[in-house]
């Protein structure tokens, strides 16, 4: 068993952690024997989680708070500042009832360092858990976005505003041959990535165009003068 006289608190903490992970009996011994100056509990329950067990060992037996400011009594039991105040009022150890004089209480430096090391480890585990949750959320969000994009790609989005046999006007863009601009056509084939094959109404000439270069004709009669005007201008 490691004693509180050892001043390397980090090493003490690591040895104690290894003890709780490797041996249940050793864990019970540490929790039950307060001669090491850790826990003042008379009947400490042993948790299956090493982190929870260590927190119980490092906690003040009266207040339940971690003993960052641990003080040790002549009998070997340790308390935090809140628990020490109660001990001073009682003038006796809360755990073993041994009489205590206020000037006999001293800082437990090794335990303080061990508690600080435990807090750092606990904070690190919390950070890692939070990071894992955030990564899972981003992954699920990305998968949902890919699914929505896939649905849109299959015809539910704006990339496919036209259907086969729709009548359209060729508005044109940078990729559209100038001779097709302004002419009416019929959609004959729907291709990938928002492309369509259309056939012009005046000379049955087929051309493959993007959906952005097309505009659906809602009213055939109202669009006829526009077509005639464009043809006359050409």
Q: What is the mean pLDDT of residues 127-136?
A: 89
Handedness of CA 86, 88, 89, 92 (dihedral sign): positive
Say whether both 109 and 171 belong to one domain: no
**Residue 160 resides in a domain:** no
Say whether both 93 and 174 belong to one domain: no
Q: Given 101, 129, 157, which residue is the final one in a domain?
A: 129
Please tell me the predicted confidence (pLDDT) of residue 211: 87
Say whether both 17 and 108 belong to one domain: yes
pLDDT tens digits along 104-115? 999 999 999 999
pLDDT band at 83 (very low <50, low <70, confident <90, very high): very high
CA angle 148, 151, 156 (to 5 degrees): 115
Please tell me the predicted confidence (pLDDT) of residue 138: 84
Domain extent, residue 32, equals 9-129
**Residue 154 resides in a domain:** no
Contact 82, 40 (CB under 8 A): no
Say whether both 99 and 184 belong to one domain: no
Please tell me the predicted confidence (pLDDT) of residue 193: 81
Say whether both 25 and 120 belong to one domain: yes
**Residue 136 resides in a domain:** no
Please tell me the predicted confidence (pLDDT) of residue 139: 84
Number of domains in the chain: 2
Say whether both 180 and 109 belong to one domain: no
pLDDT band at 9 (very low <50, low <70, confident <90, very high): very low
Q: Given 129, 159, 181, which residue is the final one in a domain?
A: 129
Say whether both 113 and 177 belong to one domain: no
Say whether both 213 and 112 belong to one domain: no
Contacts of 84 (CB under 8 A, 6+ apart): 71, 105
**Residue 186 resides in a domain:** yes
**Residue 68 resides in a domain:** yes
Q: Which residue has the higher pLDDT, 233 or 116?
A: 116
What whole-number distance in Å separates Cα of residue 67 and Cα of residue 182? 83
Say whether both 104 and 183 belong to one domain: no
**Residue 137 resides in a domain:** no
Say whether both 80 and 188 belong to one domain: no
Instruction: CATH number of the domain at 74, please.
Output: 3.30.40.10
Lowest mean pLDDT among 12-26, 136-150, 164-178, 193-207: 12-26
Say whether both 25 and 119 belong to one domain: yes
pLDDT tens digits along 20-73? 444 444 443 433 444 444 444 434 444 456 667 888 889 999 999 999 999 999
Which pair of structure tokens corresponds to residue 6? 């050892």
Please tell me the predicted confidence (pLDDT) of residue 212: 86
Q: Given 129, 157, 188, which residue is the final one in a domain?
A: 129
Using the predicted structure, report yes or no on whether residue 157 has a pLDDT greater than 60: no
**Residue 219 resides in a domain:** yes
Please tell me the predicted confidence (pLDDT) of residue 94: 92
Contact 124, 71 (CB under 8 A): no
Say whether both 196 and 122 belong to one domain: no
**Residue 229 resides in a domain:** yes
Average pLDDT, the chain: 74
Percent of the chain at pLDDT > 90 equals 36
């Amino acid at each position: 068993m490691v004693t509180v006289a050892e001043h390397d608190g980090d090493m003490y903490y690591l040895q104690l952690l290894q003890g709780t992970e490797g041996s249940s009996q050793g864990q019970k011994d540490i929790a039950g024997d307060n001669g090491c100056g850790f826990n003042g509990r008379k009947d400490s329950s042993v948790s299956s989680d090493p982190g929870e067990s260590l927190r119980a060992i490092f906690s003040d037996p009266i207040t339940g708070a971690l003993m960052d400011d641990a003080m040790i009594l002549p009998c070997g039991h340790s308390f935090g500042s809140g628990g020490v105040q109660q001990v001073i009022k009682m003038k006796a150890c809360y755990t073993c009832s041994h009489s205590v004089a206020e000037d006999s209480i001293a800082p437990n430096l090794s335990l303080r360092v061990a508690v600080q090391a435990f807090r750092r480890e606990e904070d690190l585990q919390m950070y890692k858990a939070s990071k894992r949750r955030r990564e899972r959320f981003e992954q699920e969000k990305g998968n949902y976005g890919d699914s929505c994009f896939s649905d849109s790609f299959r015809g539910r989005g704006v990339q496919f505003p036209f259907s086969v046999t729709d009548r359209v006007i060729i508005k044109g863009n940078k990729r559209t041959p100038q001779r097709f601009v302004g002419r009416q056509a019929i959609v004959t084939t729907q291709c990938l990535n928002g492309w369509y094959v259309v056939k012009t109404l005046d000379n049955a000439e087929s051309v493959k165009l993007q959906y952005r270069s097309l505009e659906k004709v809602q009213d055939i009669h109202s669009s006829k003068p526009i077509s005639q005007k464009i043809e006359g201008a050409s």
